[in-house]
Every structure is written in C-alpha cells, then in structure tokens.
C-alpha cells in the first residue's frame, strides 16, 4: 500500500460536470418527494432525473409551465404512482 498519494494533477471543485445544468433550491412536499424517490428506485434512476424528465414532458406539451401547471403535474404523478 502507498504511504503517500500524488495530488499534483488534481483539480478542486465539482466532480461531476454541470454543463447545461443549473442548481436551484426549492421546497417540495415530503409526500411528493417520497413518491418521486420511490418511483425512481423502481425505475433504477435518480429521483432528480425523474423530476426533470416529468417537467420536460410537460413543457413539450401545450400548457405553459407555471406554478399551477407544476402542481398539476405533481398531482398527476402522485396518482400515477399510487401515492
């Protein structure tokens, strides 16, 4: 086993690329988040990815994405997952 590690070529900062991504802070109801986490586990993907895909599906439709539309999306997703 090595006694020392060489970090001379290391870079400080995020490990994962965030290209085309923006960090946002938002509050979601616990039951909504639990539903997305459960569904994401079933599908074998991350819950944030599932939330992103769900929102993307909506914005490609005819309805505008506003707070009312997001609430509707979440309600529909909860019904679909049986939560």
Between 10 and 41, the higher pLDDT residue: 41
Q: At what angle do helices 30-43 and 67-81 cross, to 10 degrees?
A: 50
Which residue segment(s) compose the domain that 59 sits in?
Answer: 30-81
**Per-residue model confidence as pLDDT tens digits over 34-63:** 999 999 999 999 999 999 988 888 888 765
Cα(29)–Cα(81) distance, integer angstroms = 16
Residue 72 lies in a domain: yes
How many domains does the chain fold into? 1
CB neighbour list of residue 83: distance below 8 Å, 6 or more residues apart? 31, 34, 35, 38
pLDDT for res 1 = 54
pTM (two decimals): 0.55
What is the DSSP code (8-state) at residue 62?
S
Residue 42 lies in a domain: yes
**Tokens (6 digits) for 29:** 């109801």
- The pair phi, psi for residue 6, each rounded to 5°, is -100, 110
Residue 3 lies in a domain: no
């Amino acid at each position: 086993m090595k006694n020392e590690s060489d970090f001379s070529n290391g870079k400080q900062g995020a490990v994962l690329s965030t290209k085309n991504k923006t960090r946002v802070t938002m509050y979601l109801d616990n039951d909504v988040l639990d539903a997305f986490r459960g569904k994401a586990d079933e599908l074998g993907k991350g819950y944030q990815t599932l939330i992103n895909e769900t929102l993307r599906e909506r914005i490609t439709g005819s309805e505008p994405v506003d707070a009312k539309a997001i609430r509707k999306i979440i309600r529909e997703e909860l019904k679909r997952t049986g939560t």
